[in-house]
Amino acid sequence: MRFGFFALIAVCAGLMGCGASTPTTTAPQKFDSASYTPMALNARRLEIVENWQMPMQEPYIGHFQTPYPSNMVAQWAAAVLTPAGGSGELVLDISTASVTREKLPQKTDLKGLLTDQQDTRVKVVLEAKLMWIQPVGGARAMVNLVATHSTTVPESTTPNAFDIAVRDTLLSALAALDKEARKEIRKIDNIVLP
C-alpha cells in the first residue's frame, strides 16, 4: 500500500515536470509614445483632461504601473493627436484607464491538480471622448473611444512574468485605442490635415 502511494507521487511529480521550462528573466516592455505615428489635425491646441480617479484597492492594480495607465493614454494623445491648424480645439477626456486582476476558479479534480491551470485574468479598459470644436465654419464633432484587452496567466507565473503580462496587456489595449481613434477620426470631415 505504501509503495503504491509513493509510486503515485513519483508519477505525479514526473507529469508536473513535463513541459516545464526555465523561466526567463526579462523586464516588462517599456512604454514609448514616440512609437506611434502622429496625425496632423485641424486644431490650434489639444487639451487632455484626466477624469479617471484610480481606485487603490482590489481588484484594481493600475496604481502599481509606471507610468500610470491614464498617464500612458495622455502621453499617447500628446504624441498622436498633433494640433496643426490655425484655429479650433481638440479635447480628450479620459474617463477610464483601469487595470484589474481577477482570480479564476480552479478545477479540483485529479487532472486539475496535475496541470498548470490559468489562475488570474488581467483586464485593461481604456475609455475616452475626443471632442473637436472648430469655430471657422462652425464644425463640431465628438467620438467615443473604447478599447479593452485581457489575458490570463497560469498559476506557476512568477511575479516578474506577471508584471510582464500586465504591461503587455496594457500596451495591447493602448494599441487598440490608437487603432480605434484613427478609424473614428478619419470619419470626421476636414479634421485630418494632409
Residue 69 lies in a domain: yes
Pairing of strands 139-154, 118-134: antiparallel
Q: Is residue 55 part of a domain?
A: yes
Please say if the pLDDT value at position 16 is more than 90. Answer: no
- Inside any domain, residue 16: no
Asked whether residue 167 is assigned to any structural domain, the reply reads yes
C-alpha cell at 123: 483586464
Pair 135, 88: CB distance under 8 Å: yes
Residue 11 lies in a domain: no
Number of folded domains in the chain? 1
Whether this model's pTM surpasses 0.75: yes
Q: Is residue 191 part of a domain?
A: no
Percent of the chain at pLDDT exceeding 90? 66
The string of pLDDT tens digits covering residues 48-73 is 999 999 999 999 999 999 999 999 99
Q: Is residue 23 part of a domain?
A: no
Of 4 and 191, the structure prediction assigns the larger pLDDT to 191
Domain extent at residue 69: 34-185
In this structure, what CATH number is given to the domain that contains residue 180?
3.30.160
Q: Give the residue among 157, 159, 194 at the shortest CA–CA distance from 27.
A: 159
Helices 69-80 and 159-185: crossing angle, nearest 10°?
A: 40
Question: For residue 117, what pLDDT is reported?
Answer: 78
Within-domain flag for 10: no
